[in-house]
A and B are shown apart, each in its own frame.
Chain A
Amino acid sequence: MSVTDLARPAGERRPGPGTARRPGLPRAVLRSLAVLLRHPGAALSALWIVLVVAAAVAPSLFAPGDPLAIDPAARLQGPSLDHLFGTDRLGRDLFGETVHGTGRTLPAAALATVVGLGAGTLLGLLAGFLRAATDLVIMRLIDVLLSIPGLLLALMLVAVLGEGDTLDVGIAIGVAAVASTARVMRAEVLRVSESGFVEAARTGGARWTRVVLRHVLPNSLGPVWVLTLLLFGEAILGVTTLSFLGFGAQPPTPEWGALVSSGRDFLGSAWWLSLLPGAVVALTVLAANRVSHAVEERTGRR
């Protein structure tokens, strides 16, 4: 039995008291499920997120038919059983548009989360593991990224990437989230690198790629996973804000922020046009934050 075998990453064998409270991904999922059942607020939030994701994947389940179908006889009608969210100035069903808009907003927010988490994790891992000059350069880059307000950074990228596509907006929002993830990841990598099992792996002659991929990375990801939903909520805010400002999905493409924006001209007479899609955005972000908070409370404390 070699020394590297002794130092299994978390999940199979717990390597030390410091990492014991940070389980691997499958266990974390199981645990968070158990947590949800005990917290009805968090459970409802999780249910809402599942519904919204389902609406993004299969919008026809919730709103069959073409969301852009025009019905001149039913213009600017208030919310009713026929039209849950009312109708807009062309008689389009706003509920259908909102449901179909999910398929625009959520992928962009998911892309932003993946970009933010992926690049941030990589930068944090490099900085924390290689230290010295690499750490210095990366940390200065992070300082700079943090000094520019997030939305402004995203707007700068949108100015270059172009404004036609929600996915471009997603990338821009994701880059704005890189700095905070990288900081969290770096701190965790520094902490894990001090652990006995990393030292044991090195002493045992494991190559540095093996040390990073098998030992440091899996044990450092805990706090980053906790960030995921929080980032996702923030990304939804960012994507909808940018499309409200006119960057990203262009009308008549249904997208949450764009729907709010196109409804605002009717605020005095038809409040539902902007406020109901807006409420959907707020509920989704709130739900993501709530679930993330519940998971964090469960895995972070104790």
Chain B
Amino acid sequence: MARFLVGRVLQGVFVLWAAYTLSFAVLYALPSDPAAIAAGANNSVTPEQLAELRHEMGLDRPLAGQYLAKLGGALHGDLGTSLQSGEPVTSLIGAALPPTLAVAGLGLVLGALLGTGLAVLATVTPYRWLRQALLGLPPLGVAIPSFVVGLLLLQWFAFAWNVLPAIGEGGWRGLVLPAATIAVQPAALIGQVLARSMEGELGKDYVDVARAKGAGPFRVNVRHVLRNAALPTLTLAGLLVGGLLTGAIVVEAVFSRNGLGRITQGAVAAEDLPVVQGVVLLGAAVFVTVNLAVDLLYQVLDPRLAIERRTAGTARFTLFGLAGRG
């Protein structure tokens, strides 16, 4: 287990380093002038001042030197400073995180509940039409852009029925609509995958055994089938969390909320490259962490994997070992 853990952590660190390098290559190696952006709308900047600013920001050094200096800083938790405000990127992102976490977290919980409910109901219902209708919902949820979902909810709940506030600031009531908007994508994904997975599990022998021993439909479907069927949906976790982050960008724009999405949108519009890179790194870090956690969780939840690993040897789990397999 320790060896497996170390291998996976190293792999995660490698992906993070590569994400840093990739974002550096895209953002800094391409012809754009961060110094000019930092100088901003201030047209009175003379070429000499601009050159001095470039020197201050280290932009006149060779790219490799800049890369190493920035990477060294990043390893110490310094992602540079925003070109717009001059604030350190880490504190900028740190301050924006709580409101986004609240919306995204609530959205994920809501999405998981809705998706699970949909899959279970579609599986246990004796009515064919209800099953068809329920299973028709996820494709719809995936196809509707989330900004349209947000505007629809706004139109109904805030303007037509006037039950919830239109602006997402202040109190839990403002949190409901943004969270519901974010929840649609995860709910659709979870519902789709879980329903298919449950259908597959229903044909297995242990279901017959449970029924033969007198278990009722609830016990069979929830205690036995759902628990086994939930395992494959865990692999969705990385995808879902990545989707939450991008969902937050859209939702914060629709509901005029402050947070990470707002910062990202503003940074992209102003070409504030350090901030953009910081958010990209955060996205990659979250993805890597979640996938690592899911891998570990899998080992605990599915004991068959641990046995397989012990018998299969450790060669597969080296840092680059995964590349050769089909």
Is A158 at the interface (CB under 8 A from chain B)?
Answer: yes
Kindly report which residue of chain A lies nearest to residue B325, judged by CB atoms. Answer: A190
A153 CA to B18 CA, complexed, in Å: 14
- Across the interface, do B145 and A148 meet the contact criterion of CB distance under 8 Å? no
In the complex, which residues of chain A have a beta carbon less than 8 angstroms from the beta carbon of B145?
237, 240-241, 244, 257, 278, 281-282, 285
- Across the interface, do A282 and B151 meet the contact criterion of CB distance under 8 Å? no
- Across the interface, do B147 and A152 meet the contact criterion of CB distance under 8 Å? no
- Across the interface, do B246 and A151 meet the contact criterion of CB distance under 8 Å? yes
- Across the interface, do B144 and A289 meet the contact criterion of CB distance under 8 Å? no
In the complex, which residues of chain A have a beta carbon less than 8 angstroms from the beta carbon of B26?
156-157, 160
Is B284 at the interface (CB under 8 A from chain A)?
Answer: yes
A206 CA to B145 CA, complexed, in Å: 49
Is A165 at the interface (CB under 8 A from chain B)?
Answer: no
A48 CA to B316 CA, complexed, in Å: 48
A267 CA to B288 CA, complexed, in Å: 39
A260 CA to B148 CA, complexed, in Å: 8
A150-B246 contact, Cβ under 8 Å, with A135-B323, A282-B143: yes
Is A144 at the interface (CB under 8 A from chain B)?
Answer: yes
Is B27 at the interface (CB under 8 A from chain A)?
Answer: yes
Is B174 at the interface (CB under 8 A from chain A)?
Answer: no
A246-B269 contact, Cβ under 8 Å, with A152-B279, A275-B148: yes
A160-B323 contact, Cβ under 8 Å, with A144-B19, A241-B250, A274-B151: no
In the complex, which residues of chain A have a beta carbon less than 8 angstroms from the beta carbon of B151?
260, 264, 267, 274-275, 278
Kindly report which residue of chain B lies nearest to residue A132, judged by CB atoms. Answer: B324
In the complex, which residues of chain B have a beta carbon less than 8 angstroms from the beta carbon of A136?
320, 323
- Across the interface, do B15 and A286 meet the contact criterion of CB distance under 8 Å? no
- Across the interface, do A152 and B246 meet the contact criterion of CB distance under 8 Å? yes
Within 8 A of B (CB), among A12-39: none
**Which of A147, A257, A268, A275 neighbours the largest number of chain B CB atoms within 10 Å of its CB?**
A147
Kindly report which residue of chain A lies nearest to residue B11, judged by CB atoms. Answer: A143
Is B198 at the interface (CB under 8 A from chain A)?
Answer: no
A153 CB to nearest B CB, Å: 7
Kindly report which residue of chain B lies nearest to residue A189, judged by CB atoms. Answer: B326
A39 CA to B307 CA, complexed, in Å: 46
Is B206 at the interface (CB under 8 A from chain A)?
Answer: no
A4 CB to nearest B CB, Å: 25
Of B59-67, B73-81, B152-160, B297-305, which stretch is located at the interface? Answer: B152-160
B117 CB to nearest A CB, Å: 23
- Across the interface, do B27 and A160 meet the contact criterion of CB distance under 8 Å? yes
B16, B148, B284: which contacts A279 (Cβ < 8 A)?
Answer: B148
B269, B288, B322: which contacts A147 (Cβ < 8 A)?
Answer: B288
**Which of B14, B264, B268 neighbours the largest number of chain A CB atoms within 10 Å of its CB?**
B268
In the complex, which residues of chain A have a beta carbon less than 8 angstroms from the beta carbon of B326?
187, 190-191
- Across the interface, do B269 and A275 meet the contact criterion of CB distance under 8 Å? no
- Across the interface, do B32 and A160 meet the contact criterion of CB distance under 8 Å? yes
Interface string of A244-275 (1 = CB under 8 A from B): 11110000000001001100100110010011
In the complex, which residues of chain B have a beta carbon less than 8 angstroms from the beta carbon of A149?
242-243, 245-246, 283, 287
B253, B284, B320: which contacts A244 (Cβ < 8 A)?
Answer: B253
A156 CA to B277 CA, complexed, in Å: 8
In the complex, which residues of chain A have a beta carbon less than 8 angstroms from the beta carbon of B30?
160
- Across the interface, do A278 and B269 meet the contact criterion of CB distance under 8 Å? no
Within 8 A of A (CB), among B100-147: 139-140, 142-147
A139, A159, A274, A285: which contacts B268 (Cβ < 8 A)?
Answer: A159
Interface string of B147-176 (1 = CB under 8 A from A): 110011011001100000010000000000
A146 CB to nearest B CB, Å: 8
- Across the interface, do A286 and B147 meet the contact criterion of CB distance under 8 Å? no
Is B293 at the interface (CB under 8 A from chain A)?
Answer: no
In the complex, which residues of chain B have a beta carbon less than 8 angstroms from the beta carbon of A93?
none
Interface string of B164-207 (1 = CB under 8 A from A): 00100000000000000000000000000000000000000000
- Across the interface, do B32 and A148 meet the contact criterion of CB distance under 8 Å? no
A285-B143 contact, Cβ under 8 Å, with A143-B18, A147-B288: yes
A156, A233, A261: which contacts B280 (Cβ < 8 A)?
Answer: A156
A144-B147 contact, Cβ under 8 Å, with A149-B242, A149-B287: no
Is B258 at the interface (CB under 8 A from chain A)?
Answer: no
In the complex, which residues of chain B have a beta carbon less than 8 angstroms from the beta carbon of A290?
139
- Across the interface, do A156 and B269 meet the contact criterion of CB distance under 8 Å? no
In the complex, which residues of chain B have a beta carbon less than 8 angstroms from the beta carbon of A246?
265, 269
In the complex, which residues of chain A have a beta carbon less than 8 angstroms from the beta carbon of B229?
none
Is A298 at the interface (CB under 8 A from chain B)?
Answer: no
Kindly report which residue of chain A lies nearest to residue B28, judged by CB atoms. Answer: A160
- Across the interface, do B148 and A148 meet the contact criterion of CB distance under 8 Å? no
In the complex, which residues of chain B have a beta carbon less than 8 angstroms from the beta carbon of A151?
246, 249
Q: Which 8 A-B pairs have the closest CB atoms?
A: A278-B148, A149-B242, A151-B246, A286-B143, A268-B159, A285-B143, A282-B144, A144-B18
Besides A148-B23, A156-B26, A278-B148, 10 other CB < 8 A contacts? A152-B245, A245-B253, A260-B148, A268-B155, A268-B158, A268-B166, A275-B148, A275-B151, A282-B148, A286-B143
Q: Can you report 5 A-B residue pairs in the complex whose CB atoms are below 8 A from each other?
A: A144-B18, A146-B287, A152-B279, A156-B280, A257-B147
- The residues of B with any CB-CB pair to A shorter than 8 Å are 14-16, 18-19, 22-23, 26-27, 30, 32, 139-140, 142-148, 151-152, 154-155, 158-159, 166, 242-243, 245-246, 249-250, 253-254, 264-265, 267-269, 271-273, 276-277, 279-280, 283-284, 287-288, 320, 322-324, 326
